[in-house]
Structure 1
Amino acid sequence: MSDEPDSRPVRSEPVDDPDDEWAVPDCPRCGRPVWVVTVTGPGVGTASPCGCPVVPSSLERENGTESKR
């Protein structure tokens, strides 16, 4: 290691782009936040932590992409 100061440029903008933010989807049945969907068959799933039965595709965002967790 050297005692010289680091000459790399310092980033002053935030690391995360605000446009890349995501939100946890709401359960279509009870409205509580859904963190995980367990898929048990074609078109059959269970939302967690609420336990409501859901169709996995019902938790897609309006723009057609699935939310990323």
Structure 2
Amino acid sequence: MKSRSRKGRFTFYANDDENLAFIQLPAHPKKAQPGIAKKQLKLSEHVNLGRDIEIFLDFDKDENPISIEILTYDE
């Protein structure tokens, strides 16, 4: 995954080949740490987003939101 944009307080990564985007929020440690996300909320379980997209919100051990993952699916 490569960095595409850095806007103020968050960093956006995207990989067109895998239909994946990843947004690091301000509470994210900004370096790879396996297991940093202790909880994940799948938004499609709470909001109808359609069939072609999944959005996940990741939280750290203190329940601070640290990242957003966006997956799209080709039909």
Q: Which TM-score band applies after superposition, normalised by the shorter structure? A: under 0.3
**What's the TM-score once normalised by structure 1's chain length?**
0.24
**What's the TM-score once normalised by structure 2's chain length?**
0.23
Q: Which has the higher strand share?
A: 2
Structure with more relative contact order (C-alpha pairs < 8 Å, separation 6 or more) = 2
Q: Pick the structure with greater CA Rg.
A: 1
